[in-house]
Structure 1
Amino acid sequence: MRTACFVDGYNLFYGLLAGTPYKCSLLAHIIRVEHPDSTLSDVNFFTSGVKPSLASRGIASKEAQDTYLRALIARGVNVFYGRHQLESGKAPRFVDKNTPASRDDQVEIWKLEEKETDVHIAISMYRLAARESSLRPEERTQQIVLVSADTDMTPAMRALREDFPDLHLGVILPHREGIQRTAPGSLKQHANWMRHAVTEVELAAHQFPPRIPTRKKPADKPAYW
């Protein structure tokens, strides 16, 4: 089953990889576990560049992200960039968990948002299905797998299910094992299958090597991840 994966990079990082030594390539493994005749034909990775002034480790955070993306590109992954938008605004003051948020008690904040990624993923998945709909069945992508837990992707999944009923749809939630999270039912409703967590064993077994050759200088695994 010819399979294309669409990965929400920040969802993957903060849901599964942040705080671990793992920066991995395991999608081919997971889709085969879920559907043994799956073959990975295309990986599309959507992200936005780190802002060093707001990152936990400043320029080191950006350098680590750049190295990872260069490694992905060298391995044939299609990387697409959105952008971050920083705006001032107001939000309810946090007092404690027992005190409800109130519009009458707000503080000035900086609000950082990732822009364009969700829409870009949704359009890219739909355009792939539409573009290949005129091909013979054996020439088409037969399965699309979304790597995200973001329920904003539900309308795209619903549209794919309604307009291309022969297309197999899967969802990989970028969640670590042992951390209890509620599965997004709206995504599951439109998928043929959903992987709820990725195990430590799987992460450890599907790592990039410490050095990956690229067209320019090699991508060396940084000390900071």
Structure 2
Amino acid sequence: MTSYSNPPRTTAVYVDGYNLYYGRLRGTAFKWLDLVKLFDTLLAQRDQSETLARLHLFTAPALATFASHGNASVEAQAAYHRALKAKYEDRFETIYGTHSFDKSGTLLPVYLPDQPFDRTNRTRVWKLEEKKTDVNLALRMYRDACKGRYDRMILVSNDSDAEPALEALRVDFPHIMLGVVMPIRPVTAGMPAHRRPSGSLAKQADWTLSHLSDAMLSAAQLPAIIPTKKKPIRKPGHW
């Protein structure tokens, strides 16, 4: 029976897709991750009468030229996003930014071990930059807060660039509880931490989760085949 004295607290999750991928999923068997199931489970474990209303994934379309598997990587990413949308419809949304790169190459200083920095010794490199994701994420969180859509918000990122957005939310909307989930591996015996949890994000949050374990990711995988009204969506072979 629902308790009217303790109504469900509507919660939204905001995922920095590239921070999640490069911080936790790259090189693992967990890329076919059911993000909505992962956070449904997390909120249930927190046992604070929280309900996941919507999950927003902020990312940019993969570029075949720079992807490990070329066009197959582009198709895999698209299949993944379509699979989540097909399964969760109104509870899932992908917000796309863009990539930019200099077709003639970017001049950067050469790193030489045990040699001082020399700005005159440069070489041309491919420098791929993701654009708009940080701004899109910050604006969406703030606008959702302005519109009073959610009681609680969870940021999935370990990027300290998000600190100003969290600080603004904390100051302007103190009634909204802020959580931060950091997509990094847990520290295990004999294995050093490959990334440190962001202290600047943690200090702006009401609560944090400092890692995502293999067990959590393994328990939240999409089915290999997702039925749709048309052609079913299949898990990419190289994932």
- Confirm or deny a common fold (TM above 0.5): yes
Higher mean alpha-carbon deviation, 28-37 vs 177-186, is at 28-37
% of aligned pairs identical? 41
Of 39, 50, 70, the match for 2:82 = 70
Contact 1:3 1:141 in 2 (8 A): yes
How far the C-alpha of 1:34 sits from its partner, in A, is 4.0
Deviation string, structure 1 residues 33-68 (Cα, Å, up to 9, x no partner): 345422111100111111101111111111111111
TM-score by length of 1: 0.91
1:137 equivalent in structure 2: none
> Can you list the C-alpha shifts for 1:107-136, whole angstroms capped at 9, x where unaligned?
11221100000000000000000012xxxx
Alignment of 1:99-138 (within 5 A): 99-132=115-148
The residue that corresponds to 1:10 in the other structure is: 18
Aligned pairs for 1:20-31 within 5 A? 20-22=28-30, 23-25=32-34, 26-31=38-43
Q: How does 1:208-219 map to 2 (within 5 A)?
A: 208-219=222-233
The aligned counterpart of 2:159 is 150
1:33-48 correspondence to structure 2 within 5 Å: 33-34=45-46, 36-48=48-60
Q: 5+ unaligned residues in a row in structure 2: which ranges? A: 1-8
Q: CA deviation at 1:100?
A: 4.3
Give the Cα–Cα distance (whole angstroms) in 2 for the partners of residues 94 and 80 of structure 1.
36
Q: Which runs of 5+ in 1 are unaligned?
A: 133-139
Following superposition, the deviation at residue 189 of structure 1 comes to: 1.1
Show the counterpart of 2:111: 94
Aligned position for 1:172: 181
2:122 and 2:173 map into 1 onto residues whose CA distance is 46
What residue number does 2:203 align with? Answer: 189
Counterpart-to-counterpart distance in 2, 1:166 and 1:105: 53
Asked if the contact 1:171–1:194 (Cα under 8 Å) also holds between the matched residues in 2, the reply is yes
More off after superposition, 190-199 vs 68-77: 68-77
